[in-house]
Amino acid sequence: FGFTYIIFQYLLQSDFNFHNKNIDINSKLIHIGGWKKLEKNKISKDKFNSICKNILKLDSVIDIYGFTELMGINFPDCECGWKPIPNNVRVIVRDEKDRKVLNKGEKGLLQFVTHFPTSYAGVSVLTDDVGVINKSKCKCGSTDSFKILGRRKKAENRGCGDILSTKYDNSSIENRQEPIIYDFY
C-alpha cells in the first residue's frame, strides 16, 4: 500500500534491481494519490499496472480514488478498471466550459454528491478531476461506475500525494542511510 508516485519513483525506478531477484509476492498492490506527479513521465494507469505486475510479480494492482471532503468514501478499481459508485454517492460529469451536465460516456469534470458530510458544506463537491461515467453496466456487475482520465489543465496540485512530495527534499531522501519515517500528525 502506498502513494502512486512514491511506488513508481522510489521502488520501481530505484537502484534495487528487481529483475535479478527471485521475487514472487503473490499479492495485491493498493495505491492512492500522486498521479499528477507522474504526468511528466507519461505513465498511464495501464502502463503503471503492467510495470508493477511484471516487476513485483503481483496478482493485481488496485488504484483507489478519494478525497477528504467525502468523509472516507473511496472508490477502488474493480477487476475491469472502473470505479463502482456506491448507493450513497451520486457522480455527475460536467462540461469544463459551461458546467452543464453531460451524458454517460462523455468526459468532463467530476462532481460528487453525498449526504454524509453534515458538519460543513461538503454535500456537493465539483473537482478538477476529469472523468467519464460508464455508458453501460460494468462486467463486474456494478450498475454505475466511472474512470478518472486526468486533471483539468492548470489545476492546482492539492492531493495528499502531491502535498507529501513538497514536504520532503528528494535529495535528502536519496542520501539518507537510516529509514524514512513519515509523521503526518
Residue 174 pLDDT more than 70? no
Whether 65 contacts 83, CB under 8 Å = yes
Average pLDDT over the chain, rounded to an integer? 79
Separation of alpha carbons 5 and 109, rounded Å: 23
Mean pLDDT of the region 78-90: 93
pLDDT of the residue at 22: 57
Separation of alpha carbons 176 and 123, rounded Å: 43
Residue 13 pLDDT more than 80? no
**pLDDT greater at residue 19 or residue 94:** 94
Helix residue ranges per DSSP H, the chain: 4-6, 35-38, 45-56, 160-167, 170-174
Threshold 0.85, pTM exceeds: no
Mean pLDDT of the region 65-84: 90
Q: What percent of the chain has pLDDT over 90?
A: 33
Residue 115 pLDDT more than 50? yes
